[in-house]
Chain A
Amino acid sequence: MSFELVYTSARRGLRPGASGFCTVAATDGIPRALQDKLESLSGYSYTESLAGSVPPVNHSHMTVRIQRTVYHVLSRIGHVKAEHTNRTNKIAHHLALTSDEIESFDDGPTAMFTDQSFWFSQWDSDPQTLPPDRLPDSYSEPVNGFSAWEEVFGDAGWAGMLGHAIASDFRSVSVIVPNGDQTMALLNEALQLVKAADQWKVCFSTFYTRQTSSAHCHWRFVMDGTSEARHLRARTQGILVDPLGSKTELPDDNPFVQAAREGRPDQAHAMAAAKIRRSGGGALSQPNGDDDEERPERPSVRRRREARLQKKAVQTRSPFDIPEEEYAHVTLEQADAGGSETKRKSSKRKNKAGLILVSVLLLAVIAILVVLGIKQLT
């Protein structure tokens, strides 16, 4: 069952006695833990938003785990007119879907934002309980190659870095954009480079700040002129796409970059697989400035990387990815959890053997002591 929550500053909230920043609408029966989590995802950096001519809207997709359920949270958070105390205000509208529910939305997470009539951009009503299973119409916006990337950055190849990041074990990538005008278009175009089966695994935010997000985010669109952009330029973990502000150059031999430049997103993965085969399992090239490229690779690191590139059952790569297969509504027999399950059993067996050995040794020592004691007495 899906759940919605609307959070803004109002005279009265849904909870009796609440006012100011509070929940003004929510689906009937929303779990308390989920409500608290969605409220905590409602941050919007007003001062950072002033870096642009128009305060940007943050469209985001995050995955959160509440007890044993994984929710895909789609959020629209934006600036609204002054609230009842004549001060700044925002509105955050969240839609939480379970892993089962997203299967009926084949067009991916960005398609959920096209139905403007569903998403609240302001709130002038009394607090209310929303009916269950209220969902937006989902349809993909028509995408024309990578024209938005070409227009904003002068080179469509930059879109390839986002596809490359996802193909490289869902690494995070930050994109510094000049303003918030075309971020949805950039996002839609970049998603062409992600396999359809993986699109719901991509977490993104079109107006990202570290302070306002507590969930892991793969694609982060950061506005130029913000403190977040300055922080990224000083030091960034993961990939940074910043053609306007830094001297980063695109790796021309990266298959995703080539596919984006040629407008052939469907060829991206085939080209990437071919390159890996040709190079004997080597890594895809990354933009200049990555520390790894400047140092000779240690054998242990190369072995680990090669092992990672081999096809495996879906596993958690990073401690911060949510292992959906453990917590989704599927049984263990259906999920391909063979690899991890076998490893857990084998380590349990080793622990057991060790325990037995120690017990035997202890018994032997006790037996020797008893014999010596008896001899002493006799």
Chain B
Amino acid sequence: MSDSGILAQITCPHCWNRFPPEETLWASAHPRLYGDARLGPDVQRRFLPTRFDAGGNAIDSQGSFCSEVCCPKCHLGIPRTMFELRSIFYSILGSPGSGKSHMLATTTWQMRQALGSRFKLSISDADPDSNRQLNESEERLFFNEHPDKLATIPKTETEGDLYQPVQFGDETIWYPRPFVFVVQPLADHPRIAERDEISRAICLYDNAGEHFLPGGESSISPATQHLNISRGLLFLFDPTQHARFREACKANTNDPQILGTGRSHRQDQILHEAANRIRTHSGLAQQQKYDKPLIIVITKLDSWGPTLWPEWDTVDDPIRDARQGVAGLDLSLIESVSAQMRVIMSKLAPEFVNAAEGFANNVTYIPVSSLGRSPEVDEESGMLGIRPNEVKPVWAEVPLLYLLNQTSTGLIPAVRRSGG
């Protein structure tokens, strides 16, 4: 990082292009300067500035002061924090219907509750407009005006609101919209003096599950290329889409996802597909293993837990308050639970365990219930929904906190139980 506090290289969260700060484009501000070659006629023109005001903001050709900075390749806006804080990219992947959108909404919500009070960290939206879709999902589940009525999070599309079109000549490339959060220590954090070192900009993506199916990626929709730069992967394994899990649980549940007509996906194939893409784009040899953390998030714990892991609703909280005043993650508990999950997975989905451990060196299995109970089918619309006043996530924030602990020094400490 330079003396000015700006990083020497910035990674665009849209197209993953790396560039030095002096190549940054700015979005003009004057009303006459509309129309950009990449983004179309309805946005402000991007330009490489030659004039700046005293505050370091660019001045466009019509004399207006500009504030939005953009990527030189895709011209999409980049939050300023990504010029000052180190970024971490995490990928969330899984088959269609595995619960990615629900988990993302509950994870970010739970982190907003836990980080401030227990970890002495603040978490904020780097770009509220960009995070709008995720914020709406959080509102549906946790801020709903009608908490007793069934609420639905729409199925994630492969095009539309979560993607942004960029024109390269005759071709339009659809880039996924990133969700960017800033995590930094609060004033009473013990390491506040090292604020610049430990603060991070965290980028997450909510891809449609179809993008992870074989053949689901195309040159005009490189929606999953963030897999290559991610510091860790969160793979959502959905037991309700696995025939053996459904068979084992159906006698002891009324979850419509288990009792229904059944929709199965070969989730090991999806993991293989993701592994192939990572190997292809990052140049990883076939015999080399992925050396970053692979977290297998076993979702919908409320539907299979009563049968296969009866202590699911009384499992301890892995966030423990430490004597130093800042909470930490109980890694012993997480590793113990992971070992138990591995036993269950090896018995019912050995092909998946094989795929995961054949690809990555460091595999952890973490069970999660994003909603805390089974969804209901709305008789009128036929859609699955949940009543917001019944949402009680279980371990929803744990996978991301664990990833932060494993990949970023100083933000999420680990704690060990005293006295053995």
Q: Which residue numbers of A lie inside 8 Å of B, CB to CB?
A: 9, 11, 15, 17-22, 36-37, 39-48, 65-67, 81-90, 172, 209-212, 214, 216, 227, 235, 237-238, 291, 318-320
Contact = CB atoms under 8 A, between A and B. Distances in A.
Nearest to B136: A47
B263 A319 contact: no
Contact of B41 (A21, A45, A237): A237
What is the predominant secondary structure among interface residues of chain A facing chain B? Answer: loop
A88 B174 contact: no
B157 A44 contact: yes
Nearest to B160: A43
B381 A319 contact: no
Q: Which 6 A-B pairs have the closest CB atoms?
A: A43-B160, A214-B165, A87-B155, A82-B382, A20-B96, A20-B210
Given A17-B214, A40-B220, A82 B263 contact: no
A87 B40 contact: no
B210 A21 contact: yes
B80 interface: no
Interface string B207-218: 011100111101
Interface string B342-381: 0000000000000000000000000000000000010001
Contacts of B383: 82, 86-88
B79 interface: no
A43 B34 contact: no
Given A86-B256, A237-B41, 5 more contacts: A20-B96, A47-B136, A81-B381, A88-B383, A214-B174
A364 B160 CA distance: 63
A214 B172 contact: yes
Contacts of B40: 214, 216, 320
A88 B213 contact: no
A43 B161 contact: yes
B55 interface: no
Interface in B215-249: 215-216, 218, 220-221
Given A21-B210, A83-B155, A87-B384, A45 B220 contact: no
Contacts of B216: 18
What is the predominant secondary structure among interface residues of chain B facing chain A? Answer: loop
Contacts of B208: 20-21
Nearest to A17: B214
Contacts of B310: none
B174 A40 contact: yes
A316 B148 CA distance: 56
B390 interface: no
B96 A19 contact: yes
Interface in B127-184: 132-133, 136, 152, 154-155, 157-161, 163-165, 167, 170, 172, 174
Given A40-B174, A172-B41, A21 B157 contact: yes
B325 interface: no
Contacts of B35: 318-320
Interface residues of B, number: 48
A291 to B, nearest CB: 5
- From B136, B160, B163, B221, name the one whose CB has the most chain A CB atoms within 10 angstroms: B160
Nearest to B133: A47
Nearest to A50: B154
Given A17-B214, A47-B161, A84 B172 contact: no
A21 B223 CA distance: 14
Given A19-B213, A88-B152, A210 B263 contact: no
A45 B218 contact: no
A44 B155 CA distance: 11
A323 B157 CA distance: 32
Nearest to A81: B382
A173 to B, nearest CB: 12
A211 B220 CA distance: 16
A44 B384 CA distance: 20
A89 B96 CA distance: 13
Given A86-B384, A88-B152, A319 B157 contact: no
Given A9-B155, A20-B96, A320 B41 contact: yes
